């Protein structure tokens, strides 16, 4: 593990160009992995509730969720990370919106998805 960390420290400037670019890429990767694992888009077809999907995600890979929350908190201290955090939340809301539409919800689904995600996000944090 030490070798991996040392290699990452030596290589990231060449591949990503900056530490902030590395962090942005890590947040994007975490978001994609987390949303895919949560199956928010597929919940209707699989017969899962959104709450169960998110709970399973947190229990299966808590480190991934902790990383995302750490980045959210860090963005409060470092505004340059705020765009990545907004994208993180937008990705989750979009996935939830797709899942709600698959359940047959109509109307202003985006508002419902944003509200539901805020509630679920708060529960996960607790």
More confident site: 5 or 104:
104
Share of the chain above pLDDT 90, in %: 13
Task: Report pLDDT digits (tens) over 25-41.
Answer: 888 888 888 888 778 77
44: CB partners within 8 A, 6+ apart:
99, 102, 103, 104
The more confidently predicted of residues 119 and 46 is 119
Q: Residue 96: which residues within 8 A CB-CB, separation 6 or more?
A: 40, 50, 113, 116, 117
Q: What are the tens digits of pLDDT across the range 54-81? A: 777 778 888 888 888 888 888 899 888 8
51: CB partners within 8 A, 6+ apart: 120, 123
pLDDT at site 4? 39
In the predicted model, is pLDDT for residue 50 greater than 90?
no
Name the pTM for this structure.
Answer: 0.76
């Amino acid at each position: 593990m030490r070798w991996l960390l040392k290699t990452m420290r030596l290589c990231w400037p060449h591949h990503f160009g900056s530490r902030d670019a590395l962090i942005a890429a890590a947040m994007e990767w975490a978001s994609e992995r987390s949303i895919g694992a949560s199956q928010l888009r597929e919940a209707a077809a699989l017969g899962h509730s959104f709450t169960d999907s998110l709970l399973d995600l947190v229990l299966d890979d808590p480190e991934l969720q902790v990383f995302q929350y750490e980045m959210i908190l860090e963005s409060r201290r470092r505004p340059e990370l705020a765009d990545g955090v907004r994208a993180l939340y937008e990705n989750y809301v979009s996935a939830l919106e797709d899942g709600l539409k698959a359940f047959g919800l109509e109307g202003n689904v985006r508002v419902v998805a944003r509200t539901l995600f805020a509630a679920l996000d708060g529960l996960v944090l607790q």
